[in-house]
Amino acid sequence: RPHLRLQIQISLFGDDDRLVVAKDVTRLYQLEQMRRDFVGNVSHEMRTPLTVISGYLETLVDHGDELPPKWRRAINTMAEQSSRMEALITDLILLSRIETGEHTADDTLTDPGALLRQICQDARTLSRDQDHEISVDIADARLLKGDEGQLRSAFSNLIFNAVKYTPAGGRITVSWSANRDGAHLSVKDTGIGIDPVHIPRLTERFYRADPSRHKDTGGTGLGLAIVKHVLINHDGNLEIRSHIGEGSEFICHFPKERLVEKSPEPIRAGD
């Protein structure tokens, strides 16, 4: 028998009266779980044949000089499209794993400063020819309780999006800070910005602010859905601020209970 899932809503009237409504959402929850499992299984099954196809296409691309130009173009396009599909399947598998992993890895520690510096370095390397200025400021040295793999996916998606949606020469500012409520990651760019009507729906799978603008960005449309679910697993939430034509800021908030002091270096004999 499945666990009973109830959604409870409490309304207050005056000083003493309360209305409690309990709704049985067990079936809805089961259907949602079936959908997740189905997407995860299909993605897994598709990965193997696609890897074989991509492998053969790569061999053909490597031997492009021996092929007539018309064939070469067709093969290059097929190779490009199959690597897009591989990226999509990788993200679908990642998302279904993150969605099912309820509050995973609470006992492992991640160094957010080191992680963010590393991702920014990768972003600089990738966007070298676009002359973006990418700066990173780490104002709190504590560790974060959480899964490094999941946090890496979330932070990379935000930072690579900032690069993708900022024209050449723009500025991307990444900052990690903490106050008495908790820790905050801000990824701010001077890019194309987002119309406010789209903001509430941006973390839905495959939702795009303006599909016509995104033909060439090469994204999978799952990046912000991944960010949202990683934050749910870490008791955090995402705030989005943006002005069209001026830029965007994505802020991840983590509760203070997730911050842990770095343990002091052990004192070695002779020190």
Q: Which residues bind ligand ADP (CB under 6 A)?
A: 157, 161-162, 165, 189, 191-192, 194, 202, 208-209, 214, 217, 219-224, 248
Residue 20: CB minimum distance to ligand ADP, A: 37
Residue 125: CB minimum distance to ligand ADP, A: 19
Residue 40: CB minimum distance to ligand ADP, A: 19
- Report yes or no: 131 and 168 within 8 Å, Cβ to Cβ: yes
Q: Between residues 130 and 217, which has the closer beta carbon with respect to ligand ADP?
A: 217
CA distance 236 to 158: 15
Amino acid present at 134: I
Residue 162: CB minimum distance to ligand ADP, A: 5
Residue 158: CB minimum distance to ligand ADP, A: 7
Q: Between residues 113 and 223, which has the closer beta carbon with respect to ligand ADP?
A: 223
208 phi and psi angles, rounded to 5 deg: -130, 140
For the chain, how are helix, strand and coil distributed in percent, rounded to 5?
50, 25, 30
**Torsion over CA of 222, 228, 207 and 7, rounded to 10 degrees?**
120
Name all contacts of 5-11 with Cβ < 8 Å and 24+ positions apart: 5/29
Residue 48: CB minimum distance to ligand ADP, A: 24
CA distance 271 to 267: 7
Q: Which residue has the tokens 């130009």?
A: 69
- Ranges of beta strands (E only) in 16-76 are 17-24
CA distance 105 to 24: 29
> For residues 23-47, b (16+ Cβ closer than 10 Å) or e, as one string?
eeeeeeeeeeeeeeeebbeebeebe
Alpha helices in 63-106 (DSSP H): 69-100
Q: Between residues 108 and 217, which has the closer beta carbon with respect to ligand ADP?
A: 217
Q: Between residues 26 and 237, which has the closer beta carbon with respect to ligand ADP?
A: 237
Q: Between residues 183 and 192, which has the closer beta carbon with respect to ligand ADP?
A: 192
Q: Between residues 162 and 230, which has the closer beta carbon with respect to ligand ADP?
A: 162
* Residue sitting closest to ligand ADP (CB): 219
Residue 174, both tokens: 């990444």
Residue 208: CB minimum distance to ligand ADP, A: 4
Q: Between residues 12 and 197, which has the closer beta carbon with respect to ligand ADP?
A: 197
**From the centroid of its chain, how far is CA 110?**
17
